[in-house]
Amino acid sequence: MDILEKFKKEALRRRYSLRTISTYSFCIRNFLNYCPKEPKKFTKKDIKDFLNKVSEGGKSGSTINVNLQALKFMMEYVLNKRKYFYDIKYSKVSRRLPTVLEKEEIIRLVESIENKKHKLMIKMIYSAGLRVSELLNLKIEDINLMNNFGYVRKGKGNKDRLFIIANSLKQELFNYIVEANLKQDSYLFNSYMGRMSPRSIQEILKKAAKKAKITKRVHPHALRHSFATHLIENKYSICDVQSLLGHKSPETTMIYVHMVSPKMIAVRSPLDDLQLENGCEKNVCEIKNFERRRLLEDEYKNLSI
Protein backbone atom coordinates (compact mmCIF):
# COMPACT_ATOMS: atom_id res chain seq x y z
CA MET A 1 0.00 0.00 0.00
CA ASP A 2 1.51 3.36 -1.04
CA ILE A 3 0.38 5.59 1.82
CA LEU A 4 1.78 8.80 0.35
CA GLU A 5 0.05 8.33 -3.01
CA LYS A 6 -3.27 7.54 -1.35
CA PHE A 7 -2.87 10.56 0.90
CA LYS A 8 -2.18 12.89 -2.05
CA LYS A 9 -5.21 11.63 -3.97
CA GLU A 10 -7.50 12.07 -0.96
CA ALA A 11 -6.10 15.52 -0.16
CA LEU A 12 -6.54 16.65 -3.76
CA ARG A 13 -10.10 15.34 -3.76
CA ARG A 14 -10.78 17.44 -0.66
CA ARG A 15 -9.29 20.47 -2.45
CA TYR A 16 -6.36 20.94 -0.07
CA SER A 17 -3.81 23.44 -1.34
CA LEU A 18 -0.62 22.16 -2.97
CA ARG A 19 1.41 23.78 -0.20
CA THR A 20 -0.54 21.94 2.51
CA ILE A 21 -0.23 18.66 0.61
CA SER A 22 3.53 19.17 0.34
CA THR A 23 3.86 19.95 4.07
CA TYR A 24 1.71 16.98 5.14
CA SER A 25 3.60 14.66 2.76
CA PHE A 26 6.86 15.69 4.40
CA CYS A 27 5.46 14.94 7.88
CA ILE A 28 3.98 11.58 6.83
CA ARG A 29 7.20 10.57 5.08
CA ASN A 30 9.18 11.30 8.27
CA PHE A 31 6.73 9.20 10.29
CA LEU A 32 6.96 6.27 7.84
CA ASN A 33 10.75 6.37 8.09
CA TYR A 34 10.53 6.48 11.88
CA CYS A 35 8.01 3.63 12.09
CA PRO A 36 8.68 1.07 9.30
CA LYS A 37 5.65 -1.11 10.10
CA GLU A 38 2.80 -2.32 8.01
CA PRO A 39 0.39 0.64 7.95
CA LYS A 40 -2.44 -1.50 9.32
CA LYS A 41 -0.33 -2.14 12.43
CA PHE A 42 0.23 1.53 13.34
CA THR A 43 -0.83 2.22 16.93
CA LYS A 44 -1.58 5.26 19.04
CA LYS A 45 1.73 4.66 20.85
CA ASP A 46 3.60 4.90 17.53
CA ILE A 47 1.99 8.29 16.89
CA LYS A 48 2.75 9.60 20.39
CA ASP A 49 6.35 8.33 20.30
CA PHE A 50 6.92 10.08 16.97
CA LEU A 51 5.45 13.36 18.25
CA ASN A 52 7.63 13.09 21.35
CA LYS A 53 10.65 12.68 19.10
CA VAL A 54 9.68 15.78 17.14
CA SER A 55 9.20 17.66 20.41
CA GLU A 56 12.58 16.57 21.75
CA GLY A 57 14.19 18.01 18.65
CA GLY A 58 13.31 21.47 19.95
CA LYS A 59 10.56 22.10 17.39
CA SER A 60 7.90 24.71 18.08
CA GLY A 61 4.34 23.93 19.15
CA SER A 62 3.16 24.89 15.65
CA THR A 63 5.48 22.33 14.03
CA ILE A 64 4.33 19.59 16.39
CA ASN A 65 0.69 20.46 15.65
CA VAL A 66 1.27 20.32 11.88
CA ASN A 67 2.75 16.83 12.27
CA LEU A 68 -0.25 15.81 14.37
CA GLN A 69 -2.67 17.18 11.75
CA ALA A 70 -0.87 15.30 8.97
CA LEU A 71 -0.88 11.99 10.86
CA LYS A 72 -4.50 12.53 11.88
CA PHE A 73 -5.44 12.93 8.21
CA MET A 74 -3.46 9.82 7.28
CA MET A 75 -5.00 7.65 10.00
CA GLU A 76 -8.58 8.87 9.63
CA TYR A 77 -9.00 9.34 5.89
CA VAL A 78 -6.42 6.96 4.40
CA LEU A 79 -6.32 4.10 6.92
CA ASN A 80 -9.86 4.58 8.30
CA LYS A 81 -8.69 4.52 11.93
CA ARG A 82 -10.67 7.33 13.54
CA LYS A 83 -10.48 6.42 17.22
CA TYR A 84 -6.78 7.05 17.61
CA PHE A 85 -6.76 10.76 18.31
CA TYR A 86 -9.42 11.28 20.95
CA ASP A 87 -6.92 11.83 23.78
CA ILE A 88 -3.92 13.20 21.87
CA LYS A 89 -3.88 16.91 22.69
CA TYR A 90 -2.49 19.65 20.52
CA SER A 91 0.61 21.46 21.75
CA LYS A 92 0.37 24.93 23.21
CA VAL A 93 1.51 27.50 20.68
CA SER A 94 3.23 30.64 21.95
CA ARG A 95 1.64 33.81 20.59
CA ARG A 96 4.25 36.31 19.45
CA LEU A 97 3.40 39.81 18.35
CA PRO A 98 4.13 40.22 14.64
CA THR A 99 6.73 42.59 13.19
CA VAL A 100 5.07 45.85 12.18
CA LEU A 101 6.74 48.77 10.42
CA GLU A 102 5.87 52.34 11.30
CA LYS A 103 4.37 54.41 8.49
CA GLU A 104 7.59 56.43 8.25
CA GLU A 105 9.56 53.18 7.90
CA ILE A 106 7.28 52.07 5.04
CA ILE A 107 8.09 55.33 3.23
CA ARG A 108 11.84 54.86 3.73
CA LEU A 109 11.63 51.22 2.64
CA VAL A 110 9.74 51.95 -0.58
CA GLU A 111 11.86 54.97 -1.49
CA SER A 112 15.05 52.93 -1.11
CA ILE A 113 14.02 50.63 -4.01
CA GLU A 114 15.22 51.93 -7.38
CA ASN A 115 13.83 49.26 -9.71
CA LYS A 116 10.33 50.43 -10.78
CA LYS A 117 8.85 46.94 -11.03
CA HIS A 118 10.26 45.85 -7.65
CA LYS A 119 8.97 49.03 -6.05
CA LEU A 120 5.49 48.43 -7.49
CA MET A 121 5.46 44.86 -6.16
CA ILE A 122 6.34 45.97 -2.64
CA LYS A 123 3.73 48.75 -2.75
CA MET A 124 1.12 46.23 -3.91
CA ILE A 125 1.85 43.87 -1.00
CA TYR A 126 1.60 46.68 1.58
CA SER A 127 -1.32 48.56 0.00
CA ALA A 128 -3.59 45.49 -0.13
CA GLY A 129 -2.20 43.24 2.64
CA LEU A 130 -1.36 40.51 0.15
CA ARG A 131 0.60 37.36 0.87
CA VAL A 132 3.59 36.79 -1.42
CA SER A 133 1.95 33.78 -3.06
CA GLU A 134 -1.19 35.86 -3.68
CA LEU A 135 0.79 38.62 -5.35
CA LEU A 136 2.68 36.19 -7.60
CA ASN A 137 -0.56 34.42 -8.62
CA LEU A 138 -2.32 37.63 -9.67
CA LYS A 139 -3.40 37.79 -13.30
CA ILE A 140 -4.50 40.84 -15.27
CA GLU A 141 -8.03 39.44 -15.44
CA ASP A 142 -8.17 39.52 -11.62
CA ILE A 143 -7.70 43.30 -11.52
CA ASN A 144 -10.43 45.92 -11.83
CA LEU A 145 -8.62 49.26 -11.96
CA MET A 146 -11.78 51.20 -12.77
CA ASN A 147 -13.38 50.24 -9.45
CA ASN A 148 -10.25 49.99 -7.28
CA PHE A 149 -10.37 46.31 -6.43
CA GLY A 150 -9.10 42.91 -7.48
CA TYR A 151 -9.57 39.25 -6.61
CA VAL A 152 -7.24 36.80 -4.91
CA ARG A 153 -7.97 33.43 -6.52
CA LYS A 154 -7.51 30.30 -4.44
CA GLY A 155 -5.69 31.99 -1.58
CA LYS A 156 -4.97 30.40 1.78
CA GLY A 157 -7.57 27.71 2.50
CA ASN A 158 -8.28 27.58 -1.23
CA LYS A 159 -10.58 30.62 -0.89
CA ASP A 160 -11.20 33.58 -3.19
CA ARG A 161 -11.40 37.05 -1.73
CA LEU A 162 -11.53 40.68 -2.77
CA PHE A 163 -8.62 43.08 -2.18
CA ILE A 164 -8.41 46.85 -2.51
CA ILE A 165 -6.26 48.76 -5.01
CA ALA A 166 -4.90 52.07 -3.74
CA ASN A 167 -5.93 55.14 -5.76
CA SER A 168 -2.31 56.23 -5.86
CA LEU A 169 -1.32 52.97 -7.59
CA LYS A 170 -3.93 52.94 -10.38
CA GLN A 171 -1.98 54.96 -12.94
CA GLU A 172 1.29 53.25 -12.08
CA LEU A 173 -0.31 49.82 -12.47
CA PHE A 174 -1.95 50.81 -15.76
CA ASN A 175 1.34 52.11 -17.18
CA TYR A 176 3.17 48.97 -16.08
CA ILE A 177 0.59 46.67 -17.73
CA VAL A 178 0.69 48.65 -21.00
CA GLU A 179 4.50 48.90 -21.12
CA ALA A 180 4.89 45.16 -20.39
CA ASN A 181 2.24 44.39 -23.06
CA LEU A 182 0.44 42.00 -20.71
CA LYS A 183 -2.63 40.06 -21.85
CA GLN A 184 -5.76 39.25 -19.83
CA ASP A 185 -4.50 35.78 -18.88
CA SER A 186 -0.93 36.99 -18.15
CA TYR A 187 0.48 36.95 -14.65
CA LEU A 188 0.93 40.48 -13.34
CA PHE A 189 4.50 39.91 -12.16
CA ASN A 190 6.85 37.54 -13.96
CA SER A 191 10.62 37.44 -14.36
CA TYR A 192 12.42 37.02 -17.68
CA MET A 193 12.83 33.34 -16.73
CA GLY A 194 9.12 32.82 -16.07
CA ARG A 195 7.33 32.77 -12.69
CA MET A 196 8.99 34.76 -9.93
CA SER A 197 9.79 32.99 -6.69
CA PRO A 198 8.90 34.22 -3.18
CA ARG A 199 12.62 34.15 -2.46
CA SER A 200 13.16 36.95 -4.99
CA ILE A 201 10.79 39.26 -3.10
CA GLN A 202 12.42 38.37 0.22
CA GLU A 203 15.78 39.43 -1.22
CA ILE A 204 14.33 42.68 -2.57
CA LEU A 205 13.02 43.54 0.90
CA LYS A 206 16.21 42.48 2.65
CA LYS A 207 18.33 44.82 0.50
CA ALA A 208 15.79 47.65 0.76
CA ALA A 209 15.62 47.41 4.56
CA LYS A 210 19.41 47.49 4.80
CA LYS A 211 19.60 50.53 2.53
CA ALA A 212 16.81 52.28 4.47
CA LYS A 213 18.62 51.47 7.75
CA ILE A 214 15.64 49.65 9.22
CA THR A 215 16.83 47.36 12.02
CA LYS A 216 13.62 45.32 12.27
CA ARG A 217 13.45 41.95 10.52
CA VAL A 218 11.67 43.00 7.33
CA HIS A 219 9.98 40.18 5.38
CA PRO A 220 6.97 40.15 3.03
CA HIS A 221 4.51 39.15 5.75
CA ALA A 222 5.65 42.13 7.86
CA LEU A 223 4.11 44.34 5.16
CA ARG A 224 0.81 42.47 5.52
CA HIS A 225 0.99 42.92 9.31
CA SER A 226 1.71 46.63 8.79
CA PHE A 227 -1.25 46.99 6.40
CA ALA A 228 -3.64 45.54 9.00
CA THR A 229 -2.21 47.54 11.91
CA HIS A 230 -2.31 50.83 10.00
CA LEU A 231 -5.92 50.23 8.96
CA ILE A 232 -6.89 49.81 12.62
CA GLU A 233 -4.93 52.97 13.48
CA ASN A 234 -6.99 54.69 10.80
CA LYS A 235 -10.14 53.70 12.73
CA TYR A 236 -11.36 50.87 10.47
CA SER A 237 -13.23 48.08 12.28
CA ILE A 238 -11.97 44.58 13.00
CA CYS A 239 -14.65 43.24 10.62
CA ASP A 240 -13.37 45.41 7.77
CA VAL A 241 -9.78 44.30 8.32
CA GLN A 242 -10.77 40.64 8.81
CA SER A 243 -12.55 40.63 5.45
CA LEU A 244 -9.62 42.20 3.60
CA LEU A 245 -7.11 39.80 5.14
CA GLY A 246 -9.29 36.76 4.47
CA HIS A 247 -9.26 35.59 8.10
CA LYS A 248 -11.80 32.97 9.14
CA SER A 249 -12.20 34.32 12.65
CA PRO A 250 -12.07 37.87 14.08
CA GLU A 251 -9.90 36.46 16.86
CA THR A 252 -7.06 36.08 14.35
CA THR A 253 -7.41 39.72 13.34
CA MET A 254 -7.59 40.93 16.96
CA ILE A 255 -3.82 40.53 17.38
CA TYR A 256 -3.36 43.72 15.35
CA VAL A 257 -5.23 45.71 17.98
CA HIS A 258 -2.25 45.05 20.26
CA MET A 259 0.09 46.52 17.67
CA VAL A 260 -1.51 49.92 17.13
CA SER A 261 0.18 53.07 18.34
CA PRO A 262 -0.74 53.76 22.02
CA LYS A 263 -2.16 57.17 21.09
CA MET A 264 -4.80 55.37 19.03
CA ILE A 265 -6.04 53.39 22.03
CA ALA A 266 -8.75 55.24 23.95
CA VAL A 267 -7.37 54.33 27.37
CA ARG A 268 -5.63 56.97 29.44
CA SER A 269 -2.93 55.85 31.82
CA PRO A 270 -3.56 56.93 35.45
CA LEU A 271 0.03 58.20 35.49
CA ASP A 272 -0.95 60.88 32.99
CA ASP A 273 -3.48 62.29 35.48
CA LEU A 274 -0.66 63.02 37.91
CA GLN A 275 0.79 65.51 35.39
CA LEU A 276 4.39 64.67 36.19
CA GLU A 277 7.22 66.51 34.49
CA ASN A 278 10.22 64.39 35.43
CA GLY A 279 8.92 60.94 36.25
CA CYS A 280 8.04 60.68 39.92
CA GLU A 281 10.48 63.39 41.05
CA LYS A 282 7.96 66.22 40.90
CA ASN A 283 5.38 64.22 42.83
CA VAL A 284 7.91 63.30 45.52
CA CYS A 285 9.03 66.92 45.81
CA GLU A 286 5.44 68.12 46.15
CA ILE A 287 4.83 65.61 48.96
CA LYS A 288 7.98 66.77 50.76
CA ASN A 289 7.03 70.43 50.32
CA PHE A 290 3.56 69.68 51.65
CA GLU A 291 5.03 67.99 54.72
CA ARG A 292 7.42 70.93 55.27
CA ARG A 293 4.60 73.47 54.99
CA ARG A 294 2.48 71.49 57.44
CA LEU A 295 5.28 71.44 60.01
CA LEU A 296 5.89 75.20 59.61
CA GLU A 297 2.17 75.91 60.04
CA ASP A 298 2.12 73.84 63.23
CA GLU A 299 5.14 75.74 64.56
CA TYR A 300 3.47 79.06 63.71
CA LYS A 301 0.31 78.04 65.60
CA ASN A 302 2.37 77.12 68.67
CA LEU A 303 4.13 80.50 68.57
CA SER A 304 0.84 82.34 68.28
CA ILE A 305 -0.50 80.62 71.36
Q: Does residue 256 have an active-site annotation?
A: yes
Q: Does residue 258 have an active-site annotation?
A: no
Given the residues 14, 221, 282, 288, the one annotated as active site: 221
> How far apart are the C-alpha atoms of 237 and 227, rounded to whole Å?
13
> How far apart are the C-alpha atoms of 161 and 153, rounded to whole Å?
7
Q: Does residue 156 have an active-site annotation?
A: yes
SS3 category, 190: strand
Helix 18-34 vs helix 61-73: angle between axes, to the nearest 10 degrees? 90
Q: Does residue 151 have an active-site annotation?
A: no
Q: Does residue 131 have an active-site annotation?
A: yes
The torsion of the CA quartet 141, 146, 147, 153, rounded to 10 degrees, works out to: 10
Give strand ranges (E) for 70-197: 143-144, 149-152, 161-164, 190-191, 194-195
Closest CA relative to residue 209, chosen from 135, 108, 68, 75: 108
Closest CA relative to residue 74, chosen from 14, 12, 10: 10
Closest CA relative to residue 109, chosen from 95, 97, 99: 99
Given the residues 6, 29, 156, 170, the one annotated as active site: 156
Helix (H) or strand (E) holding 208: helix 198-211
Given the residues 8, 123, 224, 230, the one annotated as active site: 224
Given the residues 16, 24, 84, 256, the one annotated as active site: 256
- Residues with catalytic roles: 131, 156, 221, 224, 247, 256
